[in-house]
Amino acid sequence: MTRRTLKKAIQADNQLSDFVFGNVEVADGDLKYIPLNSIKRTTLQQRRYFDQKQIEEWAKHEIKINGIRSPLWVRKLPKSNRKQEYELVAGERRYRAAEFLNLLEVPVRIFILDDRQALMASLVENMQRQDLSPLEETEGTLEFLSMELDLPIEKVTKFLYQMNNASKGTVNQNVLVSDNAHKVENVFKVLGRLTWTSFVSSRLPLLKNPSDILNALRSGEIEYTKAMAISKLKDKKTRVKILKKAINESLSLTEIKQLINSYREPVDQPTELSLDTEVKKALAKFKKSKVWTNPKKEKQIRRLLQQLDKLMDDDN
């Protein structure tokens, strides 16, 4: 799938553009350089895990040589002490790379956005760049749906399951033609990653993972693939122990899998029964079996009995 920029993804469809931004105003022209220290990180950022080593390598070998090619998206904050500050809407990796390189200024586009528009811009850009983990994408999508439907996230989740059941014909289908259902469809059309039905079947179940795993992911302490490997452990004490070790020692995915295998108890081998017990079990089973009434097996049974007789005669 060809990756599209946020601008192309949204502006390709006028209706989608209006849906996402309405009449968005550009505050200071198309492009501007502003001090890096005037930009504050946003609370709307859905991406929580950042591989700092990867960012530093990218900064040294790409940005230091070629500069920041794609401007950061920011919106103005209320002035404090006559100093204009901005909130980062999209471009956290570029911001962190600029911080690492001690850049004084960075290229930005300044927009006048409300919280809804800023969240959508951040979500779409991150999804277009494939920067979000499945959990981050799920929770970000739910947060935006919460804004659109004016419902708490818990009720949004419940409504999505209602839509899903209606689409299968298990409940009344009126919900599928409701205003909220149309809003849901529009949101997923804008995001362009999954249909709402795929989201219900493949994304919502992620929220049922153990709370210790979800909390570590939400705080950005561990990478998604590593967390999912640990989440498969059913024993909570072992899971928490491995999770802490993985975070504290920055274990690789391979090391985590090896550690998980070392904690798994060996499968108990079935105890071998004595020959006498096995004969009694076989005889009891034989008596209850319908093999007696099966003419086709009569010859085979007689042959087996003859073999047993011969074994007993030989023993005498």
Mean pLDDT of 261-272: 66
Task: Give the pLDDT band of residue 230 (cuts 50, 70, 90).
Answer: very high
pLDDT surpasses 70 at 2:
no
Q: According to the model, what pLDDT value does residue 26 have?
A: 52
Task: Give the pLDDT band of residue 257 (cuts 50, 70, 90).
Answer: very high
Q: According to the model, what pLDDT value does residue 210 have?
A: 92
Q: Of all residues in the chain, what percent are helix, strand and coil, respectively (each to 5)?
A: 60, 10, 30
pLDDT surpasses 70 at 209:
yes
Give the residue ranges of DSSP H helices in 150-232.
153-167, 179-191, 196-198, 211-218, 224-231
pLDDT surpasses 90 at 301:
no
Average model confidence (pLDDT) for the chain?
Answer: 80
Q: pLDDT for 39-61, tens place per residue?
A: 988 766 555 556 677 788 878 88
Give the residue ranges of DSSP H helices in 33-91.
52-58, 64-66
The CA distances from residue 69 to 4, 88, 106, 256, in Å, are 15, 17, 10, 36
Q: According to the model, what pLDDT value does residue 50 have?
A: 66
Q: pLDDT for 82-124, tens place per residue?
A: 778 888 888 888 888 898 999 999 999 888 888 877 877 777 7
Q: According to the model, what pLDDT value does residue 6 have?
A: 46
How many angstroms separate the CA atoms of 267 and 264, rounded? 9
Q: When comparing pLDDT for 270 and 3, which is higher?
A: 270
Q: For 30-66, give one letter per residue: b (16+ CB within 10 A) or e.
A: eebebebeebeebebbbbbbeeeeebeebbeeebeee
Task: Give the pLDDT band of residue 133 (cuts 50, 70, 90).
Answer: confident
243 touches 218 (CB < 8 A): no
- Interhelix angle for 14-21 vs 179-191, to 10°? 110
77 φ/ψ angles, rounded to the nearest 5 degrees:
-105, 160
The secondary structure element, H or E, covering residue 145 is helix 134-149
- Which is it for the CA torsion 185, 128, 207, 96, positive or negative? negative
pLDDT surpasses 70 at 227:
yes
The secondary structure element, H or E, covering residue 25 is strand 25-26
Specify the length of the chain in residues.
316
Percent of the residues in the chain that have a pLDDT greater than 90, as a whole number: 25
Q: Which fold has domain 1-7+24-127?
A: 3.90.1530
Cβ neighbours around 180 below 10 Å, total:
17
Note if the pTM is more than 0.85.
no
- Which is it for the CA torsion 180, 186, 189, 193, positive or negative? negative
Q: pLDDT for 9-33, tens place per residue?
A: 455 544 445 545 444 555 555 688 8
All structural domains of the chain with their residue ranges: 1-7+24-127, 133-208, 209-263
Residues paired with 83 in a beta bridge: 80
For the chain, the C-alpha Rg in angstroms (whole number) is 31
29 φ/ψ angles, rounded to the nearest 5 degrees:
80, -175
pLDDT surpasses 90 at 181:
yes
How many angstroms separate the CA atoms of 152 and 149, rounded? 9
117 touches 65 (CB < 8 A): no
